[in-house]
Amino acid sequence: MESYLQGRLRNTPLPLGHGLLPLFEAVVNSIHSIEERGNVGGGGKIDIEVLRSPQTSLALDTAKAKRGAPALEHILGFKITDNGVGFNDANMNSFRTLDTAYKASQGCRGVGRLLWLKAFDRVKVVSYFRDEHQEMHYRSFTFKSDGGVVEEIVQPDKKANLETNIELDGFAKAYRDRAAKSGRTIAQSLLEHCLWYFVRPGGAPEIRITDEGESIGLDEVYDEYMFASATKQDILIKDEPFELTHIKLKASAAKQHSIAWCASGRLVQEESITGKVPGLYGRLSDENGDFVYECYVTSPFLDQRVRPERIGFDINEISEDLFSQSDLSLKDIRDAVASSVAEHLKDHLDENKKAGRERVERFATQKAPRYRPMLARMSEDKLDVDPNISDKELDLLLHKQLMEIEGSIVSEGHEVMNFGMHETPDQYRVRLASYLEKVDDLKKSDLANYVFHRKVILDILEQTIRRGSDGKYAREELIHELIMPMRKTSNEVLSDGYNLWLVDERLAFHDFLASDKPLSSYPITTSSEQKEPDLCALSVYDEPILVAEGDRLPLASIVVIEIKRPMRNDAKAGEEKDPVEQALGYLERIRNGSAQTSAGRPIPRSEQIPGFCYAICDITPSVENRCKLLGLKATSDNLGYFGYNSNFESYIEVISFERLLNSARERNRAFFDKLGLPTQ
C-alpha cells in the first residue's frame, strides 16, 4: 500500500493553539539523537535560534519604544542544532517511512515530522553523521508538503564533529498569531513540555534558546521554576503501573495546580486540579515560601494509547460497560492520582481545608444565617472551599447545596408516609423522626433567611436617611421603594418584595395594597380621583357583611401612608404641604367613593371603616408646628406624634425616620439576637 503525504497531512490534526508543538517535537527528537550517541549528561547540546523577519520600519520601532514595548518582529521559523548521531541511513529510512515502528520503544509514533508541515511551509535539514564504517558523511534535504523529501544530497565529508541543523521555515500566520512571542516565553513553554527529561535520572542535555541577541538556558529557567527536588511515586491502577512525579514550582510561575499527562517523556496535555482535590486552592506554602504543585503522570499504558499527534489519549473518560471492572478509564486514573496527590500534600491541604471551613462558618454566622441550620447536613467534601472565595461565589455554592437538600427532603416526604411492608412500628417512628428533624432544620433555615433579610433592610434604611457626601438627603422615592415598590399593587409584587413591617407588622395582612397609583385605578373604591397616595391598604379580616354589625373583631380598616424627604421643613396648612392632611384627604375620598373589597364586593357603611393615617417624615420645626395645630401628642422619645381625629374616625401617627428605624429594630431585636446578628 502507498501513502499520500498531502492526504496524511490533511488527516493529521494540529489545533491552532499548539503552533509550537512542531518545535517541541524537533527538540525531543534531538534529545533522542543525543541519547543514541550516549552523551546526554556529558556534552550533549541543543541550540535553538528564533528566526524573525528583519526590522524594516523605523517608524514602527519608534512607536513601540514610546509605548515601552519590545520591538519583536514576526517569527519566521526556528533553527535547531544538536550534536546527536544525526541522519544516518537508518534514521533517514525511518524519516521517509510514515507511521514507522522504528524507535517505538522511545515513544516515537512516526508522525512527528508531519506536524512540522502543518505549521511550517518547509523544513531544511543539514546533518553530519557517521556511516556504518564510522566514516563522516554529509546529508542535506528539504522536506515539503507537495513533494516530501526533495533536493537530497549525500556525500563524504571531512567535518570532525557530529552535528545536525533542522530549520523550520515559513511559520503559518494562523499558528504564529496564537503562539508565544518572546524567546523567554518560548523557553518556559519548552521546559514545561520537556520537564520530565530534566527531573528524570540522568537529566537532559544542555538546551539553549537564542532570540535577538538574548541567550536563555533551559537549566536557568528550570532553576527559576523549581521550588524543590521532584519526588517520584509508583502506583498500580487496576494492575497497570504508573509513575507519578510530584513537583513543586515556584509561586512566581504563572501556573495553576495541575496534572501533566505524559507519554514517553513528552507532555501531552495539562489539566488543572485546583479545587478538584479537597483543600487544593491558591498557592501552597511551607517554611521555604509559596509554591504551585504539578504532578507528571507517566505509564506504559499511556504510551500505548497516546494519539499519533500527541494532543490527547484514546482512553474512555468513564468505563460503563460489562468490562468496567477491568478496563481502565481516565476517571479511574484521575481519581487514583488525586488520591495520591491528597496524601502527598496532606499537611498543606489540611490547613487549607480548616481555613475553608472557617470561611464557611464565618459567612453563615455573619452574613447568611439561613445556611447555619443546614451546615451539619452538608457533606464535608461539599464544604471544602477556597478560603479566599468571594461572598457571591460562596453564597451561590451554599445555595446550590441547600436546594439539593430541599429537593431530597421533598422527595423523601413523598415516601415517608408509606408504611413499609416489612417495617416495624419502631422502625417507622425512627424514620419519621429523622425526616421531621430534617424538615425542622430546613424551616429554621427559611426563618433565618427571613430575619436576616430584615436586618439588611434596616441597614439600608439607616444609610438612606443619612446625609450624603454631597450634603444632600435622599429623595423620598428611595425610601418609598424600600418600603414598597412604586406604581405597583400587591397583586404585582411578591410578599417578600415589600417591607411594610417597617411601619406596622399588621400591614402584612391586607386584602389590597397599592403604591403611588391613582385612586381611580383602585378596585377598593369607585372614586374617580386621579390623586396618588404613596401607600394605601385595605384589610378585610372577616366576611364584609359582618363589618356593619360591629360584633366581630377585627373590623376592616383602611391604611394610608405618606412619605416625605428626610429633613424636609416646608410643612404648612393644606393637602399640598401637610402630609397628615394629605393622608386624611385620601382616606375621605376612598370612603366617599364607597369602599369595597378587592373582589368588588360592597362593604356596608363603608364610611365608618376605621382609618389609620401614617406620615413618615422627620420632625422638623414646620412639621412639629402642624402636629401641634392638629392636636397630636408627642411620643415619649419626642421622635413622633400620635392622636385620634374623631371627625375623620382615624388614628394618626407621624413617625420620624429615626423612630421608624429604632422601632423596627426593637421589634426584631430578639430575632437578631438569636441569630447572633448585631442590632446596631
Using the predicted structure, report yes or no on whether residue 59 has a pLDDT greater than 50.
Answer: no
Select the more confidently predicted residue: 408 or 640.
Answer: 640
In one letter, which amino acid is 612? F
Using the predicted structure, report yes or no on whether residue 372 has a pLDDT greater than 90.
Answer: no
Orientation angle between helical segments 391-416 and 346-366, nearest 10 degrees: 80
The answer to whether 563 and 534 have CB atoms below 8 angstroms apart is yes
Give the residue from 467, 501, 535 showing the smallest Cα distance to 665: 501
Pairing of strands 206-211, 45-52: parallel
Alpha carbons 403 and 425: distance in angstroms, whole number: 31
Using the predicted structure, report yes or no on whether residue 46 has a pLDDT greater than 90.
Answer: yes
* Average pLDDT of the segment spanning 32-50: 86
Select the more confidently predicted residue: 592 or 27.
Answer: 27
Q: For position 253, what pLDDT does the model report?
A: 52
Three-point CA angle 341, 342, 343, nearest 5°: 90
SS (H, E, C) 105-167: HHCCCCCHHHHHHHHEEEEEEEEEEECCCCCEEEEEEEEECCCEEEEEEEEECCCCCCEEEEE
Alpha carbons 182 and 478: distance in angstroms, whole number: 55
Select the more confidently predicted residue: 249 or 87.
Answer: 87
Q: For position 299, what pLDDT does the model report?
A: 92
pLDDT tens-place string over residues 272-325: 888 888 888 888 888 878 888 889 899 999 988 888 767 788 888 886 654 555
Output phi, psi for 648, to 5 deg: -100, 0
Number of continuous H segments (helices) and E segments (strands) in the chain: 18, 22
When mean pLDDT is compared over 21-25, 95-99, 432-436, the highest value belongs to 21-25
Q: For position 233, what pLDDT does the model report?
A: 92
- For residue 258, give the C-alpha cell: 495541575
Q: What percent of the chain has pLDDT over 70?
A: 80
Count the neighbouring beta carbons within 10 Å of the beta carbon of residue 288.
Answer: 10
- For residue 449, give the C-alpha cell: 433567611
Instruction: Give, as one character, the DSSP assignment of residue 373.
Output: G
The answer to whether 592 and 527 have CB atoms below 8 angstroms apart is yes
Alpha carbons 603 and 177: distance in angstroms, whole number: 78
- Per DSSP, helices labelled H in 286-366 are 300-305, 330-344, 346-366
Select the more confidently predicted residue: 420 or 271.
Answer: 271
At 679, the pLDDT band (50, 70, 90 cuts) reads: low
The answer to whether 41 and 203 have CB atoms below 8 angstroms apart is yes
Three-point CA angle 617, 622, 624, nearest 5°: 70
- Average pLDDT, rounded, for the chain: 80
Select the more confidently predicted residue: 27 or 522.
Answer: 27
Using the predicted structure, report yes or no on whether residue 499 has a pLDDT greater than 50.
Answer: yes
Pairing of strands 163-171, 45-52: unpaired
The answer to whether 95 and 88 have CB atoms below 8 angstroms apart is no
Using the predicted structure, report yes or no on whether residue 580 has a pLDDT greater than 80.
Answer: yes
- For residue 663, give the C-alpha cell: 422601632
Alpha carbons 446 and 436: distance in angstroms, whole number: 15
The sign of the torsion formed by the CA atoms of 192, 196, 201, 206 equals negative
The answer to whether 84 and 162 have CB atoms below 8 angstroms apart is yes
Mean pLDDT lowest among 19-33, 138-152, 482-496? 482-496
Q: For position 415, what pLDDT does the model report?
A: 65
Alpha carbons 516 and 512: distance in angstroms, whole number: 14
Q: For position 545, what pLDDT does the model report?
A: 39
Q: For position 121, what pLDDT does the model report?
A: 92
Q: For position 3, what pLDDT does the model report?
A: 59
* Average pLDDT of the segment spanning 261-272: 82
The answer to whether 557 and 539 have CB atoms below 8 angstroms apart is yes
Please state the length of the chain: 680
pLDDT tens-place string over residues 200-239: 777 889 999 999 889 999 999 988 888 877 888 999 999 8
The answer to whether 187 and 216 have CB atoms below 8 angstroms apart is yes
Q: For position 20, what pLDDT does the model report?
A: 92
Alpha carbons 159 and 153: distance in angstroms, whole number: 16
Question: Which residues touch 654 (CB under 8 Å, ≥6 apart)?
Answer: 579, 580, 614, 615, 617, 619, 623, 627, 632, 640, 641, 642
Q: How far is CA 626 from CA 616, 623, 640, in A?
A: 14, 5, 12
Select the more confidently predicted residue: 425 or 532.
Answer: 532
pLDDT tens-place string over residues 76-131: 999 999 999 999 998 898 888 776 555 544 545 556 688 898 899 999 999 999 99
Q: For position 542, what pLDDT does the model report?
A: 45
Using the predicted structure, report yes or no on whether residue 142 has a pLDDT greater than 90.
Answer: yes
Q: How far is CA 46 from CA 34, 80, 171, 214, 644, in A?
A: 9, 7, 21, 16, 98
Alpha carbons 81 and 524: distance in angstroms, whole number: 92
pLDDT tens-place string over residues 402-419: 777 777 766 666 566 566
Domains along the chain with CATH numbers: 5-225 (3.30.565.10), 231-344 (no CATH), 357-446 (no CATH), 476-670 (no CATH)
Using the predicted structure, report yes or no on whether residue 179 has a pLDDT greater than 60.
Answer: yes
Whose cell is 417591607? That residue is 499
Q: For position 551, what pLDDT does the model report?
A: 41
Alpha carbons 480 and 498: distance in angstroms, whole number: 10
At 23, the pLDDT band (50, 70, 90 cuts) reads: very high
At 443, the pLDDT band (50, 70, 90 cuts) reads: low
Alpha carbons 186 and 182: distance in angstroms, whole number: 6
In one letter, which amino acid is 395? D
Whose cell is 437538600? That residue is 405
Count the neighbouring beta carbons within 10 Å of the beta carbon of residue 360.
Answer: 21
Q: How far is CA 401 from CA 275, 408, 618, in A?
A: 17, 11, 45
Q: For position 554, what pLDDT does the model report?
A: 46
Q: For position 137, what pLDDT does the model report?
A: 95
Three-point CA angle 532, 651, 616, nearest 5°: 50
Using the predicted structure, report yes or no on whether residue 566 has a pLDDT greater than 70.
Answer: yes
The sign of the torsion formed by the CA atoms of 221, 226, 227, 229 equals negative
At 493, the pLDDT band (50, 70, 90 cuts) reads: low
